Structure 1
Amino acid sequence: MKKKLCLLALLSSIASFVHAHDTAWSYEAPAEWGNLNVDYQTCKSGVNQSPVDIRQVVNGQLPPLTLSYQAKQQSIINNGHTIQINMQDGDVLKLDGETFPLRQFHFHAPSENLIDGKHYPLAAHFVHASEEGHLAVVGVMFKAGAENPALAEILREMPPKVNQELAMQHPLRLSDLIPGQKHYYRFSGSLTTPPCTEGVRWLVMKQTVSASAEQIKTFTKLLGEHGNSRPVQPLNGRVIVE
């Protein structure tokens, strides 16, 4: 029972990636998030905030990720902050001896994390939550190239109205959104939207996935003229491992 309550609280926290309780916030003024609500104070006082600029990494000989993305997507919503696909239980990430089911994934344009000072035009964040209340996010960067079949299906099923959530009618092949090679950078960070909760295990894939220039343009338009990316945060002594 205690684990169930913990997970329910955690899933509410995951929703804060896009809903952030009932207090309105905007990507036009991310420096003000910490002043909007007492629950958001970590956005300005936290010392392990995300996103970051990934550079000067330490060679930790990290093993490739073990990903098993098999479950079906449940629903899709454009909530005004991001395009999010909610998942049914089943897809898991194995990390540090724990199992992290995939709860949802969403998009940012441009990418929030940088690699050697470089933004990518589009990124997906795969948000995982364990039964014990731990969070792990896998970040995937997109670059212009061939059309991506999974992105094409997401755009076809996009609800016509903001905050309209619809059941997805066709299955997504999530392997189209994940690089073939599973090497990554790892660091400790936070949610990138209010309440900016820390203690999130961040895993940013080294290899990119392709999307057509038209798909990137469409996502960028849907995600707003100001973009939906929080500025890079200071590392404050954190080590990034590869």
Structure 2
Amino acid sequence: MKTSILLTCALLISNNAFASKHVHWGYSGEQGPDNWASLSGDNFSCTGNNQSPINLTGFIESELKPLEFYYQAGGNKIINNGHTVQVNYEKGSYIKADGIQFDLLQFHFHAPSENHINGESFPLEAHFVHADKNGHLAVVAVMFKEGVENKGLAAAWDKIPMHEGDSNTFVKVIAANSLLPANKGYYRFNGSLTTPPCSEGVRWFVLKEVVEASKSQIEAFKATMHGPNNRPLQAINARVILQ
């Protein structure tokens, strides 16, 4: 049963950035985060004890093994689903963590950042969403600060769909690794999806090094969303955050 649920979640993530086709949700008002759990019985995890995002602080020193990135160019389609802008990825790219292969399904963005680091919020955050062969999920998060133009982001934004429901196909597939910092050191915690159904048991890897994006690139994403698309911070509770 658990494996079946995880595989279903992975399929939702790959196809629709966590969005349910049957239950409308959003980031404000009656359909906002405070009410997600009441919108559908499928969203029961939204009131769980291991929810994301969080403020990463109070770190525990640990000898974390390096994340192994095996990314190749594979971003073939960009979608505006009304909740985020998402780039779907072809098979063949993955990370290795805990000796397990997690295949890259897609990456998407939130503005402002969902996670904070030592109380600091960032203007943009990217989530690279992966799943292993059993549907277990792993998310690599990258923070952006305002600075010079980001060439990797420019390749995606060249086809950014401005309206909900729109999508574009890349003539030349784009490379996810162009959005990653040179230093792959990370913070680690156990959490959840940051959108309904808020499923827990997600491995989170937040890269320490912050990358830059230009003000116009950050504003271009905001213009497509017509408002913030970040879930409020959730309680850490008994979790530890490793570095």
Q: Provide the TM-score with structure 2 as the length reference.
A: 0.92
The alignment status of 1:236 with 2:237, answered yes or no, reads yes
For residues 159 and 27 of structure 1, what CA distance do their matches in structure 2 show? 20
User: What is the deviation of 1:61?
Assistant: 1.9
Runs of 4+ in 1 over 6 A off after TM superposition: none
Give 1:11's aligned amino acid: A
**Residues 87 and 240 (structure 1 numbering): CA distance in 2 closer, same or farther, change over 3 Å?**
same
1:144-163 aligned at under 5 Å gives the runs: 144-163=146-165
For residues 187 and 154 of structure 1, what CA distance do their matches in structure 2 show? 29
The answer for the alignment partner of 2:34 in structure 1 is 31
Aligned length: 237
Structure 1 residue runs of 5 or longer lacking an equivalent are: none
> SS at the partner of 1:85?
strand
The answer for the alignment partner of 2:10 in structure 1 is 11
1:127 corresponds to which of 107, 111, 129: 129
User: What is the deviation of 1:145?
Assistant: 1.2
> SS at the partner of 1:61?
coil
**Residues 39 and 75 (structure 1 numbering): CA distance in 2 closer, same or farther, change over 3 Å?**
same
1:81-120 aligned at under 5 Å gives the runs: 81-120=83-122
**Residues 6 and 74 (structure 1 numbering): CA distance in 2 closer, same or farther, change over 3 Å?**
farther
User: What is the deviation of 1:9?
Assistant: 2.4
**Residue-by-residue CA offset, 1:76-108 (whole Å, 9 max, x unaligned):** 101100000000111111011110010000000
**Residue-by-residue CA offset, 1:46-69 (whole Å, 9 max, x unaligned):** 110000000010001212211111
Give 1:230's aligned amino acid: R
1:187/1:240 contact within 8 Å kept: yes
User: What is the deviation of 1:11?
Assistant: 3.0
For residues 134 and 51 of structure 1, what CA distance do their matches in structure 2 show? 18
1:184/1:206 contact within 8 Å kept: yes
Give 1:197's aligned amino acid: S
For residues 20 and 138 of structure 1, what CA distance do their matches in structure 2 show? 22
1:16/1:194 contact within 8 Å kept: no
**Residues 114 and 168 (structure 1 numbering): CA distance in 2 closer, same or farther, change over 3 Å?**
same
User: What is the deviation of 1:230?
Assistant: 0.2
For residues 162 and 215 of structure 2, what CA distance do their matches in structure 1 show? 22
Structure 2 residue runs of 5 or longer lacking an equivalent are: none
For residues 201 and 170 of structure 1, what CA distance do their matches in structure 2 show? 31
For residues 176 and 11 of structure 2, what CA distance do their matches in structure 1 show? 24
